[in-house]
Amino acid sequence: MTTHELWQAALGELELSLSKANYTTWFRNTFISTFEDGRAVVSVPNTFTKAWLEKKYHAAILKALQNVAKDGLREVHYKVELKPSVPQDIGTPIGAAPAATPGAAPVQEDEQAEATKDFSLNPRYTFENFIVGKTNELAHAAALAVAEKPGRYNPLFIYGGVGLGKTHLLQAIGHKMVEMNSRTKVLYVTCERFTNEFIHAVRNGRAKEFKDTYRNLDLLLIDDIQFITGKEGTQEEFFHTFNALHQSNKQIVLSSDRPPKAIQGIEQRIVSRLEWGMLVDVSAPDLETRVAILESKCKEKHAELSREILSYVASAVQSNVRELEGTLNKIIAYHQFKNVKATLESVRELVSTMNNGGGAKKNLTPKDLLDTVASYFDVPTADLLGKCREKRLSFPRQIIMYLMREELNSSYPSIGKIIGGRDHTTAIHAYTKIAADLQEDEKLRHDLNLIRQRLYSAA
């Protein structure tokens, strides 16, 4: 039996005795890294999981492993270690040396972020790695204050555009609190995950376990709470979870792409709770901060790029930090691959091809909106700009006008002009109609959420 098979068998046993939510929360991305002389080491993705497994599940894990390993498993230890991406599911034979990591390909940035996106904290998202500038200093200070003295600002609500460090700050709070007290129960979830887990729990008659998990935390981090719109059951559950935690002075931190009041289709009683504590925003960093961020990322990645190159990249990529980082990664990868030293010239050339080659993308444009909505409703973009008033076209058209106003802050005359040279009154009508319909129409809210998700995940 390999370590992989051993762990799978033990997980099979554990799964039977745990709720689905608990099982996925605590055993996702775990594996056995070594098993020698009756001593197994279980690798887990973060310190929080480690503390939790040691405290709550150690006996069950030991028993499950002893059941399957038969021949003399005596001890189980836990270690924080990310799963190697290559040859992931093979595992090492028991007693053999652990898979040689130096030869294995490094875990891809994206994959790694993906793997740790839901329940666990990404080790890179700490306060130490967060660069403070004018546009995020308040959010940073509030996050730090909350981590140091939970319950002081409760909830902390961080909002701002995509790629500006909201997730990073949320997770930094989690890391900091665990660092100060390893017994702190922290849970980081995306709103989507919270919703899915809840629906799943209800469907499988495990709502109580779901509640127990969430209501016994010291710190609950919910990312992108704007996606909770329109999901009544989930809103109800969130409301009660919120109250339970808040009443016992447990810290709640939420992020969103917009302030609470601007989240459509969310109950008033929730909006008011979201505003109880502290609201802070993050916006795009200024040039100086962008250079500082690039410098810090270079250090992290052990890449050497001249100050001149970094200034150039910082001035070329202005929209958000994710894009800035993505551009830097491509520059590094490109030069490593070609095995040449980066020069201002080579970087310039690369960045210019990236901007029109679909690599890094500029801020949202009306065209992005048009294309996304057209593909969502499966109608040709050109028809949306045309005169035809059939509902299958007029409805998506109104949605585009609504979104241009909401997401791009465009003026009504310019919206009319872009959408096939229409009058500004048409744009006003479209906007008010969709805004009013949103109050009533669950399906419409759902559509808009999905469209926004597509827009921002492509951006």
**Does residue 166 interact with ligand ADP by CB under 6 A?**
yes
Reply yes or no: is the peptide bond before residue 285 cis, omega within 30 of 0. Answer: no
For residue 383, give Cα distances in angstroms to 110, 387, 399, 430.
36, 8, 14, 17
Among 293, 294, 373, 434, binds ligand ADP (CB under 6 A): 293
**Does residue 404 interact with ligand ADP by CB under 6 A?**
no
Residue 264 tokens, joined: 């459509």
Among 84, 91, 155, 165, binds ligand ADP (CB under 6 A): 165
**Does residue 322 interact with ligand ADP by CB under 6 A?**
yes
Whichever of 50 and 297 has its CB closer to Mg ion, that residue is: 297
Whichever of 190 and 398 has its CB closer to Mg ion, that residue is: 190
Whichever of 282 and 328 has its CB closer to Mg ion, that residue is: 282
- By CB under 5 A, name the binding residues for Mg ion: 166-167
Total residues at interface with ligand ADP (CB under 6 A): 16
Instruction: Tell me which of Mg ion, ligand ADP, none is bound by residue 293, counting a contact when its beta carbon lies within the kind-specific cut-off of 5 to 8 angstroms.
Output: ligand ADP
User: Which among 62-70, 165-173, 175-183, 380-388 is the span making contact with ligand ADP, rule CB under 6 A?
Assistant: 165-173
Report the distance separating Cα 176 and Cα 133, nearest Å. Answer: 20
User: Which among 3-11, 16-24, 122-130, 333-341 is the span making contact with ligand ADP, rule CB under 6 A?
Assistant: 122-130
Largest separation between any pair of C-alpha atoms in the chain: 80
Whichever of 166 and 185 has its CB closer to ligand ADP, that residue is: 166
Among 162, 331, 350, 434, binds ligand ADP (CB under 6 A): 162
The enclosing H or E element of 402 equals helix 391-408
Nearest Cα to 373, choosing from 418, 417, 411, 426?
Answer: 418
**Does residue 325 interact with ligand ADP by CB under 6 A?**
yes
Give the burial class of 415: count Cβ atoms within 10 A of its Cβ; 0-12 exposed, 13-18 middle, 19 or more buried.
buried
Report the distance separating Cα 115 and Cα 329, nearest Å. Answer: 19
Residue 306 tokens, joined: 């001249």
Backbone angles phi, psi at 248, to 5 degrees: -95, 20
Report the distance separating Cα 155 and Cα 114, nearest Å. Answer: 26
- In DSSP notation, 255-266 reads EESS-GGG-TT-
Mapped onto helix, strand or coil, the DSSP state of residue 112 is: helix
Q: How far is the CB of 281 from ligand ADP (least distance, A)?
A: 11
Neighbours of 403 (CB within 10 A): 25
Report the distance separating Cα 357 and Cα 449, nearest Å. Answer: 27
**Does residue 416 interact with ligand ADP by CB under 6 A?**
no
Backbone angles phi, psi at 107, to 5 degrees: -65, 130
**Residues within window 131-160 making contact with ligand ADP, judged by CB under 6 A:** 131, 136
Whichever of 76 and 294 has its CB closer to ligand ADP, that residue is: 294
Among 51, 245, 321, 418, binds ligand ADP (CB under 6 A): 321
**Does residue 294 interact with ligand ADP by CB under 6 A?**
no
Report the distance separating Cα 439 and Cα 320, nearest Å. Answer: 31
**Does residue 332 interact with ligand ADP by CB under 6 A?**
no
Instruction: Tell me which of Mg ion, ligand ADP, none is bound by residue 407, counting a contact when its beta carbon lies within the kind-specific cut-off of 5 to 8 angstroms.
Output: none
Whichever of 129 and 381 has its CB closer to ligand ADP, that residue is: 129
Instruction: Tell me which of Mg ion, ligand ADP, none is bound by residue 146, counting a contact when its beta carbon lies within the kind-specific cut-off of 5 to 8 angstroms.
Output: none
> Contact residues for ligand ADP (CB under 6 A)?
125, 129-131, 136, 162-168, 293, 321-322, 325
